[in-house]
Amino acid sequence: MKRGVRGLAAPLLIILLWWLGAESGVGPGILPHPREVLAALADLAARGELQAHIRISLLRVIQGFFLAAGLAIPAGILAAGFSPFAEYILPLLGFLRQVPPVAWIPVLIMVLGIGEATKLAVIAYAAFFPIFVNAVLGITQIDHHFWEVARLLEFSPKEYLRELILPAAAPSLIAGLRLGMSNSWRALVAAEMLAAFSGLGYMLMAARSLVRMDEMFIGIAVIGLLGLAIDWGWKLLEGYVLRWQSRE
Amino acid sequence: MKDTYSDGKAGNDSISTAPVLELMNVSKEYRKGTRRLLALKDLSLTVNGGEFVTILGQSGCGKTTLLHMIAGLEEPTAGEIRVGGKPIRGPGRDRGLVFQEPRLFPWATVAHNISLGLPDRGRDQRKLEELLELVGLEDFAQAYPKELSGGMAQRAALARALAGSPRILLLDEPLGALDAVTRLRMQVQLMRIWQENSLTVVAVTHDIDEAIVLSTRIVILSPRPGTVKRVIPVELPYPRNRTAPEFNIYRQELLGALE
């Protein structure tokens, strides 16, 4: 708790300095007064515009993220358990890992248009690699002693998955999912800035074309805070799933 | 020697002459690149129902390998292993193995770990409760392995190995990592479980006293490649008294045989 309170110090200091600066007339016309930002926030919220952008952005991230997880975890299990598969696929994945999700946006717009498919693909792409890599790592690092136990107890394929692979790889899997979610959130904003007519990224771009500095500030704050909230959610889930690690 | 102690009563009433386990000219060779390592050579041994046979030998004589082969985790390079007259194919419920370490799944509770040894995976709660009671872990059913002491964890591992109602219980120095007091207590519990459940036990150890306390027969393996050097029946009544002069005679004989 104490640490949480300490963490508030820096943001509060920045807001305070901002407020003082605006009051003393630093950068008029460029830096909006915090009061103006709050007023704009109230306005956006009252019109329901902000909520609509948040809803669509969250929906996109969740869809893209689940698509990525649904592909990356089975692929990770295959790659970890079946070494020829890994040999075929790893160089390609190594190449793709170097290409940032944003780089695909122009290509995807050409192929898929600027509909939902493009955004979904970018988000899923961004989330795929951390999930896949961590799944492979988590599974290949399972102690071979546990595999012996599983053989001795004559596990069925389903039991191998449910009783050994998933729980043993859980710390790594969850780390990958958490990182993947964070990546997809960032990729989402980029995708919405370049190829969307809704969502928080679009809201930012629209504010820029209308020179609404106050709305841009709101956009950035909302993106950051929502990302933080999602990450806290992951932390809670992690604590619950991995409770066997912490009990004394 | 035999004559001196022929009044010694075997601890397990159900000892029968039917062989439960037969090792026939078993050899095991490991290959690492071009190097070859012969771990066990031409080892033959017959274990009858209800016996408690301890395999004694210096470290590196292939004791663990032997036990893993009986359990079906490894295959002999040559020879055959039979259980109940039939050659084994991989692991099976007729054999339960307790490893040197407890090897409990850290993410599962004690009850869940033990239930994984049950053929129905614990759907029938009664059997699970029986096992928990057998090893005295009723109050720790919902604990995670991390929360257990070494002795408790090893008892949970024993319950998991017994869960499949095996004919043969294989013990790979399961008491090796325990402190002296816990170890003595576990020996008593092990005796009780062996006697009450008419089990056949094959154990591996390098502890001479433990071998004399527990076994109906002691098999001494030679150093690498491991092969049967001597078989010594222990004809002392149970429970065995470590301070008895007869105990000392066995101690000396085993020490001599191990050299």
pLDDT in tens, A181-234: 999 999 998 889 888 889 999 999 998 888 888 899 999 999 999 999 999 999
Where does the pLDDT of residue A5 fall: very low under 50, low under 70, confident under 90, or very high at 90 and above?
confident
Q: Average the pLDDT over B42-49 and give the result.
A: 93
* Distance from the Cα of residue A90 to its chain's centroid: 23
* Residue A210 maps to a domain: yes
Q: In the predicted model, is pLDDT for residue B5 greater than 60? A: no
* Residue B208 maps to a domain: yes
Q: Which chain A positions have a beta carbon within 8 Å of B73's beta carbon? A: 148, 151-152
A166-182 core/surface letters (b: 16 or more CB in 10 A; e: else): bbbbbbbbbbbbbbbbb
The beta-strand segments (E) located in chain A are: none
| pLDDT top residue among B14 and A57 | A57
3-class SS letters over A173-223: HHHHHHHHHHHHHHHHHHHHHHCCCCCHHHHHHHHHHCCCHHHHHHHHHHH
Nearest CA in chain A to B149: A248
A247 and B146 in contact by Cβ < 8 A?
yes
Count structural domains, chain B: 1
Domain of B8, CATH number, reads 3.40.50.300
* Residue A13 maps to a domain: no
Nearest CA in chain B to A145: B103
The count of residues in chain A is: 248
* Residue A20 maps to a domain: no
Q: Average the pLDDT over B64-84 and give the result.
A: 94
Q: Average the pLDDT over B206-216 and give the result.
A: 91
Closest CB from A149, A159, A167 relative to B103: A149
Is A146 in CB contact (< 8 Å) with chain B?
Answer: yes
The Cα–Cα gap between B111 and A121 comes to: 44
Count structural domains, chain A: 1
Q: In the predicted model, is pLDDT for residue B12 greater than 60? A: no
* Residue A21 maps to a domain: no
Across the strands, what pairs with B54? B203, B218
Q: Which chain A positions have a beta carbon within 8 Å of B107's beta carbon? A: 167-168, 170, 244
A244 and B116 in contact by Cβ < 8 A?
no
Nearest CA in chain B to A244: B107
Closest CB from B92, B147, B160 relative to A248: B147
Predicted confidence at residue B13, as pLDDT, reads 53
**Distances B195 to A53, A242, B14, B237 between C-alpha atoms, Å:** 72, 40, 9, 13
Q: Tokens at residue B13, please? A: 């009433």
Looking at CA atoms only, how far is residue A239 from chain B in angstroms?
13
Q: Tokens at residue A32, please? A: 């909006």
Predicted confidence at residue A166, as pLDDT, reads 94
Nearest CA in chain B to A170: B107
Predicted confidence at residue B120, as pLDDT, reads 87
Contact map slice: A 2-61 vs B, CB within 8 A: none
Range of the domain at A95: 34-243
Closest CB from A146, A170, A245 relative to B103: A146
Looking at CA atoms only, how far is residue A195 from chain B in angstroms?
44
Residue recorded with tokens 């990182």: A179
* Residue A183 maps to a domain: yes
- Residues whose CB is less than 8 angstroms from the CB of residue B211 and which lie 6 or more positions away in sequence, other chains included: B54, B56, B203, B205, B218, B234, B254
Nearest CA in chain A to B108: A244
3-class SS letters over chain B: CCCCCCCCCCCCCCCCCCEEEEEEEEEEEEEECCEEEEEEEEEEEEEECCCEEEEECCCCCCHHHHHHHHHCCCCCCEEEEEECCEECCCCCCCEEEECCCCCCCCCCCHHHHHHCCCCCCCCCHHHHHHHHHHCCCHHHCCCCHHHCCHHHHHHHHHHHHHCCCCCEEEEECCCCCCCHHHHHHHHHHHHHHHHHCCCEEEEEECCHHHHHHHCCEEEEECCCCECEEEEEECCCCCCCCCCCHHHHHHHHHHHHHHC
Neighbours of A96 (CB within 10 A): 12
* Residue A89 maps to a domain: yes
Contact map slice: A 163-202 vs B, CB within 8 A: 163-164, 167-168, 170
* Residue B108 maps to a domain: no
ipTM of the complex: 0.86
Q: In the predicted model, is pLDDT for residue B105 greater than 70? A: yes
Q: Which chain A positions have a beta carbon within 8 Å of B108's beta carbon? A: 163, 167, 244
Reported as a single tens digit per residue, the pLDDT across A68-124 is 999 999 999 988 888 777 788 888 888 988 899 989 988 998 998 888 899 999 999
Lowest mean pLDDT among A145-154, B2-11, B210-219: B2-11
* Residue A1 maps to a domain: no
Q: Which chain A positions have a beta carbon within 8 Å of B144's beta carbon? A: 244, 247
- Residues whose CB is less than 8 angstroms from the CB of residue A190 and which lie 6 or more positions away in sequence, other chains included: A101, A102, A105, A122, A201
Looking at CA atoms only, how far is residue B250 from chain A in angstroms?
35
Range of the domain at B8: 1-90+193-259
3-state secondary structure at position A55: helix
Predicted confidence at residue A97, as pLDDT, reads 84
Domain of A220, CATH number, reads 1.10.3720.10
Q: Tokens at residue A48, please? A: 């329901």
Predicted confidence at residue A204, as pLDDT, reads 92
B230-251 core/surface letters (b: 16 or more CB in 10 A; e: else): eebbbbbebebeeeeebbeebe
Q: In the predicted model, is pLDDT for residue A38 greater than 80? A: yes
Q: Which chain B positions have a beta carbon within 8 Å of A168's beta carbon? A: 105, 107
